[in-house]
Amino acid sequence: MTAKQTVLKYLPDDLEPERLPRHVAVIMDGNGRWAKQQGLPRIMGHRRGVDALKDLLRCCKDWGIEALTAYAFSTENWGRPLEEVDFLMTLFERVLRQELREMMQENVQIRFVGNLNSLPSSLQAEIERSMAETKENQGIKFTVATNYGGREEILQACRAIANQVKQGTLNPEEIDRSLFESHLYTAGICDPDLLIRTSGEMRISNFLLWQMAYAEIYITQTLWPDFDRKEFHQALSAYQRRDRRFGKV
Ligand code: IPE
Ligand code: IPE
Ligand code: MG
């Protein structure tokens, strides 16, 4: 079966394959509130959140979405209680180690964006290993934003460009959109077409500030651990009803 036929086999009938977003980005929010509702500690929400992300990745793959980016940890999330931060770092590392083999089988190309140098060194090692091993995979491009901040991403690009100008290897006139984007963490990944945020919050929280310029935004009240295929289907239906004008008429 060709890739296209596989997509048509799994994709719900009411969705048009040629009008799917190429790149879906998701702010996975509401893990803590989900846990609280169940009378559980917040960390249990994060644990369940991993299952929801694995399901979404599989679904994107089945339905023929080219790229998925998930916001796992923001530069501001370091301000949370130490216990929660430690739990998250350990969780990321463990999940990465556990899932690598399946990602290889599923042809997933995983990539991490953010300030990775200040993550725990054992997590950095796991990140490097997973990126190196899946580098040549031609399936879905799965990006995880970890210690990610949109402002920091833009600033580090500015610093790199300013250094080139200072060294005389770049003319300020040469600084255009494409050059600037080549210095972002997301270089080589197309801009998100659809941004999904769970838990009803109507904000961007420092996520992909540059890349989000023309993303369609979809917000659901559902808390992240409860976000499933049915919810994703609804988000895609809403997306296909949108009229994307990009400033034109
Ligand atoms: C999102 O869920 C996960 C991370 C930010 C790591 P939250 O932990 O923000 O859950 P709420 O918003 O407190 O419910
Ligand atoms: C955004 O969620 C960050 C992630 C999902 C990783 P937050 O819960 O940290 O965002 P705010 O604090 O509600 O803006
Ligand atoms: Mg939150």
Give the CATH number of the domain where residue 121 resides. Answer: 3.40.1180.10
Residue 233 in this model has a pLDDT that exceeds 70: yes
What pLDDT digit, counting tens, does each position of 31-43 carry? 999 999 999 999 9
CA 205, 225, 187: angle at the middle one, nearest 5? 45
Strand partners, 145: 71, 113
In a domain, 49, yes or no: yes
In a domain, 66, yes or no: yes
CA 101, 104, 187: angle at the middle one, nearest 5? 125
Give 73's pLDDT tier (boundaries 50, 70, 90). Answer: very high
In a domain, 249, yes or no: no
In a domain, 101, yes or no: yes
Question: 174: which residues sit within 8 A by CB, 6+ positions away?
Answer: none
Question: 173: which residues sit within 8 A by CB, 6+ positions away?
Answer: none
**Atom in ligand 2 nearest the alpha carbon of residue 72:** 6
Q: Which residues are catalytic?
A: 29, 77
* Residues with CB in 5 Å of ion ligand 3: 29
Mean predicted lDDT score pLDDT of the chain: 97
Let me know: does 113 contact 71? Beta carbons within 8 Å. no
What pLDDT digit, counting tens, does each position of 1-16 carry? 666 666 667 999 999 9
Does residue 87 line the site of ligand 2, with CB under 6 A? no
Number of domains in the chain: 1
Q: How far apart are CA 238 and CA 217, in angstroms?
A: 10
> The domain containing residue 88 runs over which residues?
21-149+191-240
> Residue by residue, what is the 3-state secondary structure of 82-132?
HHHHHHHHHHHHHHHHHHHHHHHHCCCEEEEECCHHHCCHHHHHHHHHHHH
Helix (H) or strand (E) holding 239: helix 229-241
Mean pLDDT of 44-53: 98
pLDDT at 5: 65
In a domain, 16, yes or no: no
Quote the percentage of the chain above a pLDDT of 90: 96
The pTM assigned to this predicted structure is 0.97
In a domain, 69, yes or no: yes
pLDDT at 1: 64
In a domain, 120, yes or no: yes
What pLDDT digit, counting tens, does each position of 131-186 carry? 999 999 999 999 999 999 999 999 999 999 999 999 999 999 999 999 999 999 99
DSSP structure class, residue 18: G
